[in-house]
Structure 1
């Protein structure tokens, strides 16, 4: 019995940490792409599975847009963009060079890896 419990806990922890790593890997894989392409892939529409109220199916997809909170041009020609997830504690900051290429991204908030 203890062996089965250990296997189940290892499996579940592997699933959860694998999801966190894949999200981080996905974010970093978009560095070097054009900002418009990055925004289209990541910020235009985001779908997540949610547990809903009793009057709806218990598991459904929820679609929403990220909210742009900052679009600022720096003196050296780079842009800083900030986006916020309207339904969770997650904000993402992008640094875009003069050619429109994403050179770095930062996530902030407890729900960014979920």
Structure 2
């Protein structure tokens, strides 16, 4: 079974994402900020990461930069999931190493489609 790390400071978003991704046969790990997420990745590298942009301690962009430097950090498929919807933010995320981008609010169909696009389903 594939693992997905859901990184978001909102417990509601993590809960919704967990339900969707468990239905898609993922084992879920959770983190409230980029620092926690980085620590989890150092323990066990997930197959996928659903990543918020705006978080305390370490934001999603900084986490992504640090992740990609880790041994094996180029492996997870990273899908940014955020309210930041301008083209500049999307371009920055892709340049930083994100594989795909989802806008909040999201639903199962959107998550499933994006995870299929990056080869996770």
TM norm. shorter chain > 0.5 = no
Give the structure with the larger helix fraction: 2
Give the structure with the larger strand fraction: 1
Question: Given the two structures, how large is their TM-score scaled by the length of structure 1?
Answer: 0.26
